[in-house]
Amino acid sequence: MILIAFGCYLSAHFLLYALLLRHRRFIATERGIFLYHFVPAASWATLLAAFSLASSSVSAADVLLVASLHGIYSLSFLELWALADGGYSLAIIDQLAGGRNVPERSALEPLAAMGTAKRRARLADLVRMGLVEERPEGYRLTPSGRTLAGLIWAIAKLSGVPMVA
């Protein structure tokens, strides 16, 4: 029963985005799309955990299953959203589509400008989230940023991800 309700919810969540929300200013930001996925995921997990503690009709396995499925859905969605946002690879493919030869200099200038704009936007987001602070000598992690970096390092280490300096 829980999986049927959750499947209906995921369908409604996707359709709401696809039909109504995708052109909204707030949802067009990384923060907005992240919250669009995080808040419902946290709500589902909290609600099911409460039901699990209050009755035997919902098990801990149900909570983990729904949280895992929501994670897979959200990560897949967010990855596709980020790719559709336009990155270097899509820009290169677009410029070279149809087998046209593009002189190297003319191809690199717009990509360099795109990279600069993305870097500035990313830094502004990190500053706004309180993870990075701007100093006269450059950018520096805040205590929150160091904590998050430590968590990411720990997850990568536990997962066996090779560390790159």
Q: What is the pLDDT of residues 3-47, one digit of tens each?
A: 898 999 999 999 999 999 988 888 877 788 889 999 999 998 898
Domain ranges of the chain: 2-85, 90-128
88 in Cβ contact with 115 (< 8 Å): yes
Predicted confidence at residue 48, as pLDDT, reads 85
> What is residue 86's predicted lDDT score, i.e. its pLDDT?
62
- Residue 165: its pLDDT value, please? 60
* Chain segment 44-87, per-residue pLDDT in tens: 889 888 888 887 777 888 888 888 999 999 999 888 887 776 66
Q: Which is it for strands 132-135 and 138-141: parallel, antiparallel or unpaired?
A: antiparallel
Euclidean distance between the first and the last CA atom of the chain, given in angstroms as a whole number: 48
- The long-range contacts involving 112-121, CB below 8 angstroms and separated by at least 24 positions, are 114/86, 114/88, 115/88, 118/87
CA distance 40 to 109: 41
Q: Phi, psi (5° rounding) for residue 131? A: -95, -25
Please tell me the total number of residues recorded for the chain in this structure. Answer: 165
